[in-house]
Amino acid sequence: MTPEQLSATIVDALAALVADGAITLPDGVPTRVTVERPRQKGHGDYATNVALQLAKQAGTNPRAFAELVAKKLTESDAIADVEVAGPGFLNITVDAGAQGQVATDIVAAGESYGASDAFAGEKINLEFISANPTGPLHLGHTRWAVLGDAIGRVLEASGADVTREFYINDRGNQMNLFGASVEAAAFDQPIPENGYQGGYILDLARKLVAEDPGLLELPEGPDRTVAFREAAYGAQLAEQREQLELFQTHFDVWFSERALHGSDDDTESSVVTGLQKLRDQGHLVDNDGALWMRTTDFDDDKDRVLIKSNGDLTYFASDTAYYVNKRERGFDRCIYLLGADHHGYVNRLRAMAACTGDDPDRNIEVLIGQLVKIIKGGEEMRLSKRAGTMVTLDELVEEIGVDALRYSLARYPADSPLTLDVEQITKASSDNPVFYVQYAHARTNAILRNAADLGLAPESHPDLLVHEKEGELLRALAEFPRVITAAAELREPHRIARYLEATAGSYHRFYDSCRVLPMGDEEPGDLHKARLTLVQATKTVLANGLHLLGVSAPERM
């Protein structure tokens, strides 16, 4: 019995009590109730606080209310015992057979165990990373790659229709500066002031010239700079895509900022239609020769410029056009994952959405992730593309490995500032939890492999899984669906990782106390087969969970 099933059982009991006239609930019977696993042993398998929540409106005291619910619940076959405790908690002990059935159900569900339709019908645009195509991806991007991808996966597992999108900032001064920097490097000239200084610029210049020697023959001037810019852009974007594929991070859409603008005289471009939409809503105003969006109408602390007095469009104009474009493509909800250095954008993005006539609480959602620091040899490594010292995604993958790196970044909430110690996570020893979880998975597989060699297959005998450690493991496995739902709702995939660590722990303890396979020449019995079902169910949950984090579930290690 999963917590969801228990919640439904309790709701039914409440409805029956109301029908009997035993209680009255003026606000109606809730559609679901809180069910949690008590920390304390002796408080049953599950506890609920319904009596504490509902007693007031029922016009009675919590303990009396609890007694009524307890009596009704004991009529259910799936429930072995109910106790009223403390101020009015209901401590529920689930029937062993009903608990053991979870293992059979999980094996039957297989890869789909844990999935739900909680977000069915929601069309979500999930934008993350969105780097300038002017250099390699670095540690900061790496965190968003992991979190964005995992958020996408838990949302999909919850039934949402998710499009992962990478916004390519391929327009504006930075691109010109980038082109000029590569051009200068190609001709052994000093990099322009404020230009890109990284060592990769020189490598990139050499590579481009090797591929197309004609670049060196071009006459000096703006056209040559553009030629270098475009060649460098293409190479850098290709490299980013390659790095992300290597890192198991897939995007559905790579969206070019330039595409929003179209050609200069394009009257149908997203920028034109986006501005028109704002004009129609009445939130544009001319001032000092510039065009402003009155975001202060919606809680921004200052208005924002869209078209500068020199006629240039601001980056924010692109942002606005991009948002309108997403909405026109049918996305109900546009999620942005931004670094803490962009937190100042939250209010203006929300206000911008409101200016287009949308509901900023529903149609747009901006998640802010705190920055990652990385320590090596006891010193913080500074991450600056322009300074040229940076830890790049592929360096990290090479040193740490995809699984350990993804897992290390996925197990912390985005809003906690994170410090990773290179030595520590490259040690790849037991203090890296990914090994603990993956090892548990490999262990389940080893048992199933040995069982197959013995001609033993899992078989459903739910009544036999009565050992304390079996119960603990079953309850952990039963949690999985609601852990996924919570991770999706709160956009907190780290909950999956923490859950897997706890579940792996439950499995290791079960393994230690409960012999699964027959010993020596012992005759195989139903208990062996029942435990194999539990092992198979554990393997399913660990594999499904690791998959949600984009981490592999190795059969052997």
Interactions with RNA, residue window 153-212 (CB under 7 A): 169, 171-175
Question: What is the four-CA torsion angle of 535, 540, 542, 544, rounded to 10 degrees?
Answer: 180
Residues 377-406 that bind RNA (CB under 7 A): none
Identified binder of RNA from the candidate list 301, 328, 359, 468, rule CB under 7 A: 301
Identified binder of RNA from the candidate list 214, 221, 377, 556, rule CB under 7 A: 556
Identified binder of RNA from the candidate list 509, 527, 547, 552, rule CB under 7 A: 509
Q: Residue 66 or 162: which CB sits closer to RNA?
A: 66
Stretch that binds RNA, among 74-82, 181-189, 396-404, 502-510 (CB under 7 A): 502-510
| The residue type at 120 | A
> Least distance (Å) from RNA to the CB of residue 511?
5
Residues 18-57 that bind RNA (CB under 7 A): 36, 38-40, 42-44, 47, 49, 52-53
Asked whether position 295 contacts RNA by CB under 7 A, the answer is no
Q: Are 461 and 531 in contact (CB under 8 A)?
A: no
Q: Residue 111 or 489: which CB sits closer to RNA?
A: 489
Asked whether position 492 contacts RNA by CB under 7 A, the answer is yes
Identified binder of RNA from the candidate list 416, 452, 468, 525, rule CB under 7 A: 416
Q: Are 69 and 5 in contact (CB under 8 A)?
A: no
Q: Do strands 123-127 and 364-369 pair parallel, antiparallel, or not at all (unpaired)?
A: unpaired
Residue 35 in 3-state DSSP? strand
Q: Residue 226 or 517: which CB sits closer to RNA?
A: 517
Asked whether position 525 contacts RNA by CB under 7 A, the answer is no
Q: Residue 183 or 209: which CB sits closer to RNA?
A: 183
Asked whether position 508 contacts RNA by CB under 7 A, the answer is yes
Q: Which of 81, 85, 27, 86 is nearest to 59 (CA)?
A: 27
> Least distance (Å) from RNA to the CB of residue 211?
25
Instruction: Find the largest Cα–Cα distance for the chain.
Output: 92
Token representation of residue 127:
């934008």
Asked whether position 430 contacts RNA by CB under 7 A, the answer is yes
Asked whether position 64 contacts RNA by CB under 7 A, the answer is no
Distance between CA atoms of 489 and 469, rounded to whole angstroms? 31
Q: Are 299 and 350 in contact (CB under 8 A)?
A: yes
Identified binder of RNA from the candidate list 61, 74, 276, 287, rule CB under 7 A: 287
User: How many residues sit in the footprint of RNA (CB under 7 A)?
Assistant: 91
Q: Residue 230 or 245: which CB sits closer to RNA?
A: 230
Asked whether position 546 contacts RNA by CB under 7 A, the answer is no
Q: Residue 388 or 433: which CB sits closer to RNA?
A: 433
> Least distance (Å) from RNA to the CB of residue 58?
14
Identified binder of RNA from the candidate list 145, 447, 534, 549, rule CB under 7 A: 447
Asked whether position 85 contacts RNA by CB under 7 A, the answer is yes
> Least distance (Å) from RNA to the CB of residue 175?
6
* DSSP H or E segment with residue 183: helix 173-186
Q: Are 156 and 162 in contact (CB under 8 A)?
A: yes
Stretch that binds RNA, among 17-25, 223-231, 248-256, 441-449 (CB under 7 A): 441-449
Stretch that binds RNA, among 136-144, 273-281, 386-394, 438-446 (CB under 7 A): 438-446
CA atoms within 13 A on the CB side of 545: 35
Asked whether position 498 contacts RNA by CB under 7 A, the answer is yes
Report the Cα 397 to chain-centroid distance in Å.
20
Q: Residue 209 or 553: which CB sits closer to RNA?
A: 553
The 326-365 site mask, x for binding RNA (CB under 7 A), equals: --------------xxxxxx-x------------------
Asked whether position 87 contacts RNA by CB under 7 A, the answer is yes
Residues 91-110 that bind RNA (CB under 7 A): 91
**E-only strand ranges, 169-313:** 253-256, 284-287, 290-293, 304-307
Identified binder of RNA from the candidate list 290, 402, 466, 527, rule CB under 7 A: 290
Distance between CA atoms of 415 and 369, rounded to whole angstroms? 5
What values do phi and psi take at 123, rounded to 5? -105, 110
Q: Residue 209 or 269: which CB sits closer to RNA?
A: 269
Distance between CA atoms of 199 and 408, rounded to whole angstroms? 28
Token representation of residue 546:
């690791």
Query: Degrees (nearest 5) of the Cα angle 259, 265, 269?
Result: 35
Report the Cα 422 to chain-centroid distance in Å.
23
> Least distance (Å) from RNA to the CB of residue 269?
17
Give Cβ neighbours of residue 303 (< 8 Å, ≥ 6 apart): 285, 292, 293, 294, 295, 296
Q: Residue 357 or 518: which CB sits closer to RNA?
A: 518
Asked whether position 415 contacts RNA by CB under 7 A, the answer is yes
Distance between CA atoms of 135 and 194, rounded to whole angstroms? 15
Tokens 């040899």 locate to 377
Sheet holding 89-94, edge to edge: 35-36, 46-48, 89-94, 79-85
Helices (H) and strands (E) in the chain, counts: 19, 15
